[in-house]
Amino acid sequence: MKIQGIIKGNTIELSDVVLDKIVLPDGVKISIEIPDDLIIKRPKWQEWESIIGLWKDDPEIDEIFDIIDQGRHQDLGREVNLD
């Protein structure tokens, strides 16, 4: 049987029409199917925390960023044709 409801905070509110037709004893386990396209994904901070600050104590990091910075500011020039 499929039953529809509305999420309100951490509660699923089922329609009154459905509840009048179904009698289930307390403690009965039910399954709820939620379509994947409705689920809002939250970042998994445990995964992020494992890489945040990973290079903090790397002695080569300053040199790596200096090389990146030099490449960003390097003037490669380009041909300009005013004809």
pLDDT tens string 50-80? 788 887 888 898 899 899 999 888 877 788 8
Q: What is the pLDDT of residue 19?
A: 67
Q: What is the pTM of this model?
A: 0.36
What contacts 35, CB < 8 A, 6 or more positions away?
A: none
Question: Dihedral sign, CA of 17, 20, 23, 29?
Answer: positive
HSE, side-chain direction, 13 A CA sphere, residue 6: 3
Q: What is the pLDDT of residue 68?
A: 92
* Token digits of residue 12: 């699923």
pLDDT tens string 1-51? 778 888 888 888 887 666 677 778 889 888 888 888 888 877 777 777 778
